[in-house]
Structure 1
Amino acid sequence: MLLIKNTKIYTMARGIIDNGDILIDNGKIVAIGENIRENAEVLDAEGLIAMPGLIDCHSHIGGISFSRTNSYSDINEMTNNVTPDVQAIYSVDTNSEDFEYAYKNGITTLGITPGSGNVVCGLAFATKTCGKNIFEMTIKNPIALKVALGGNPKGTYGKRNQKPSTRMSIPSIMKELFKQAEKYMNEKEEAKEDKDKIPEYDEKLEAIIPVLKKEIPLKMHCTQFDMLASIEIAKEFDLKFTLEHAWGASNYIEEIVESGCGVVFGPVGSMRTFGESSLIDIESVVELENRGVLIALTTDAPFLSIDSLIHHAGEVVREGCSIERALRMITINPAKIMGIEDRVGSIEEGKDADIVLFKGVPAYDTNAKIIHTIIDGNIVYSSSVSIPNLNK
């Protein structure tokens, strides 16, 4: 047992507890309150702030590396413009230094997704950032089917003189595949136990059935030029979906709100350049959140460093959002988007004991420092700052 004492708790579920305790047993949070007394190892966190482990629900770490000593890309299967059956979980190297860098910076859960080189890219999954191997670390697989509109798939195949070479080709490719999957799914349902009528097994179409049944959402890579196209495609097939990156969302506030989708915005630190990166409008995040849209933030790591996630939340605060609501965008909101809010994203009894202790208010104090990262009840990182005392 571990008992965290005397800390200010941002629960992300039941508000803020100014001076509380958190009791952890067997990797789970078993009690939250004041003056908890238990025969447990005590972590005195007086003067610190406790919050759920941070979550980035759109990441590529372990599948792409820009390391000088071990650079690789194993998360873009760019041999076919539609690859719905490939799974990101089989490409991830947990020995990547990015995993250690993640939990040292308070990120305890990631949504790892295929890249956006294809129109239909493959299946994403949710994982902890520390553990024995990727399968034991995994919380849920799959969490979504990744698809991509815009410059990335067009750039991949256009230079080969293959489809898609234009933006207008991408929705037609996507919709054709979804119609095939609908037909395949309906034929399976109608056949039921009649083996003679069951269609031949198709692994690609099988991967799309959970999307059609709304068991998992589409993660739709899009920016200002393709946001409305993404919404229209999802609407046509009545699908759950999130808009990923969503730069330029300020031009489509009403349409996004009306669609009922979630938005995974970022990375914030990308350059304001020509084309798809010309409008990185963090102010849209505040407006959409005010209008009830479920918002999460992403660093798109390793394209932007994973440690910048807390700074993304700080930028949202700078645009006028409250600290607690901004912190929800990197804790409980991405957990909800991935469908794992029963496990992570808030400090509540029964949830995984993934907790970060800060000195300073994260997303507000620019010098807020991580003192401890706890995953599944284990302290996996402690800073060199000797502020709390770990006593029996």
Structure 2
Amino acid sequence: MLLIKNAKIYTMTDSDTVIDKGDILIDEGKIVKVGTDIEGIDGKVIDGEGLVALPGLIDAHCHIGGIDVSTLGDDLNEMTNNVTPNVNAIYGIDATSKEFADAYENGITTVALAPGSGNVVGGLVFAAKTYGDNIFDMTIKNPIALKAAMGGNPKRVYGTQGKLPMTRMGIASVLRELLIKGTEYLNKKEAAKDNESKMPKYDEGMEAVELVLRKEIPLKVHCTQFDMLTVIRIAKEFDINFTLDHAWGASDYIDEIVESGCGVIFGPMGTPRYPGECKKVDIECVAELDKRGVTTAIMTDGPVSRPEAIIYQAGEAVRKGCKLERALRMITINAAKIIGVDDRLGSIEEGKDADIVIFKGTPAYDTNAEVLYTIMDGKVVYRKYKN
């Protein structure tokens, strides 16, 4: 057993309960009790007096362990075809990468690991814990989404080769064509029912697209500026769920985003402000999106940004007018909901995985807030001070 005593607990439950001097009892990797004055346990006690406890932080979009910005190594962009729904990010991740330790040392305990954005459709996304040495053991849920990308990246990859797509028109056409093929594949399977002779030939890529068409997973779209309107239109045409990832410039399309019912994963900040899709990095939009009922999260896009950027961005959202508790939801329970793991993660409540981060100071509010402990599955995996 492990007991955290007298911490200020941001539970991140639906009621946004904050317990000023609260206790968290952990046993066999799960949270078994949250309250006050919990006593009489036979186990380790962490004195949380003057400290702040949050659920483990969740990065809803990153590429750590699969893209190395220092060596330009890339195992998450299969740029041999403009659509590769048949590939899965799980096979491109090196769990021994130092980026995973960097993540949990900065409080990130869960990540959504996605293919890159070189293709219009890049492959399947999965969710994993950040502590461990075997990515399959670290995996929580696979798949959680199918990755797609609009705008500059597919244009750059294929346009420079004189191949489709070299324009935004081409990208929209490629995405629609894949969804049309997926719909035909699904319709043939449903028409065949149990008659094997009428079943279409098995196609791994179409199986992935089918998951989107059946709304079992969303389309996770790298998307900014007016490309968001294209995605909203295509998603409505095919009646699919989707998220807008990066979403720079979302403040220009708040009404359309709200009406679409999608989720938004904003970030990262600090991207070069040059003409095109990076010209409007408007993190102030997350407060308005949240206020109007859009499930909104903040991401690092790691290793493009370092893991501590998730807290800095939440802090910038607060500086721009977002309430503290709402900003903290964007890196905990909202992110968990968007990637489909909120049954286990994202809040401090009985029955959930014991992934808890203990801070000195309040993250997103105190600029000097620092992680003192990271606890995953009830085990202290990081402790800043050993004595």
Compute the TM-score of the two structures, normalised by the length of structure 1: 0.96
C-alpha distance in structure 2 between counterparts of 1:32 and 1:367, whole Å:
27
Query: Where do residues 41-56 of structure 1 align in structure 2 (5 Å cutoff)?
Result: 41-56=44-59
Secondary structure in 2 matching 1:21: strand
Is the aligned partner of 1:8 residue 2:11? no
Secondary structure in 1 matching 2:359: strand
Is the aligned partner of 1:29 residue 2:9? no
C-alpha distance in structure 2 between counterparts of 1:60 and 1:141, whole Å:
15
- Structure 2 counterpart of 1:59, from 50, 59, 62: 62
Q: Tell me, which stretches of 5 or more residues in structure 2 are unaligned? A: none
Moved more, 181-190 or 138-147: 181-190
- Cα deviations by residue, 1:47-96 (Å, 9 ceiling, x for unpaired): 100000111110000001124xx651110000000000100000000111
Matched letter for residue 22 of structure 2 = G
Q: Name the structure 2 match of 1:389.
A: none
Is the aligned partner of 1:226 residue 2:227? yes
Matched letter for residue 382 of structure 2 = Y
Secondary structure in 2 matching 1:214: coil
Q: Offset of 1:339 from its aligned partner?
A: 0.6
Secondary structure in 1 matching 2:253: helix
- Cα deviations by residue, 1:2-43 (Å, 9 ceiling, x for unpaired): 011111100000410111110101100001111112222111
C-alpha distance in structure 1 between counterparts of 2:92 and 2:115, whole Å:
9
Q: Name the structure 2 match of 1:381.
A: 382
Secondary structure in 1 matching 2:270: coil
C-alpha distance in structure 2 between counterparts of 1:135 and 1:18, whole Å:
38
Is the aligned partner of 1:99 residue 2:103? no
Q: Name the structure 2 match of 1:390.
A: none
Query: Where do residues 322-361 of structure 1 align in structure 2 (5 Å cutoff)?
Result: 322-361=323-362
C-alpha distance in structure 1 between counterparts of 2:362 and 2:194, whole Å:
59
C-alpha distance in structure 1 between counterparts of 2:193 and 2:220, whole Å:
30
C-alpha distance in structure 1 between counterparts of 2:48 and 2:118, whole Å:
45
- Cα deviations by residue, 1:150-199 (Å, 9 ceiling, x for unpaired): 11001100000100011101111111111111111111111111121111
Alignment check: 8 A CA contact 1:66 1:302 kept: yes
C-alpha distance in structure 1 between counterparts of 2:362 and 2:386, whole Å:
16
Which stretches of structure 1, 4 residues or more, deviate above 3 A after TM superposition? none
Q: Offset of 1:358 from its aligned partner?
A: 0.4
Alignment check: 8 A CA contact 1:354 1:375 kept: yes
Query: Where do residues 1-392 of structure 1 align in structure 2 (5 Å cutoff)?
Result: 1-13=1-13, 14=15, 15-37=17-39, 38-67=41-70, 71-384=72-385
Secondary structure in 1 matching 2:198: coil
C-alpha distance in structure 2 between counterparts of 1:342 and 1:252, whole Å:
31
Matched letter for residue 34 of structure 2 = I
- Cα deviations by residue, 1:256-279 (Å, 9 ceiling, x for unpaired): 000010000010221222111111
C-alpha distance in structure 1 between counterparts of 2:23 and 2:183, whole Å:
51
Alignment check: 8 A CA contact 1:150 1:225 kept: no
Compute the TM-score of the two structures, normalised by the length of structure 2: 0.98
Alignment check: 8 A CA contact 2:286 2:322 kept: no
C-alpha distance in structure 2 between counterparts of 1:380 and 1:202, whole Å:
41
Q: Offset of 1:307 from its aligned partner?
A: 1.5
C-alpha distance in structure 1 between counterparts of 2:226 and 2:376, whole Å:
39
C-alpha RMSD of the superposition: 1.0
Secondary structure in 1 matching 2:288: helix
Secondary structure in 2 matching 1:177: helix
Secondary structure in 2 matching 1:122: strand
User: What is the percent sequence identity of the aligned residues?
Assistant: 62
Matched letter for residue 147 of structure 1 = A
Aligned length: 384
Q: Tell me, which stretches of 5 or more residues in structure 1 are unaligned? A: 387-392
C-alpha distance in structure 1 between counterparts of 2:185 and 2:314, whole Å:
43
Q: Offset of 1:311 from its aligned partner?
A: 0.4
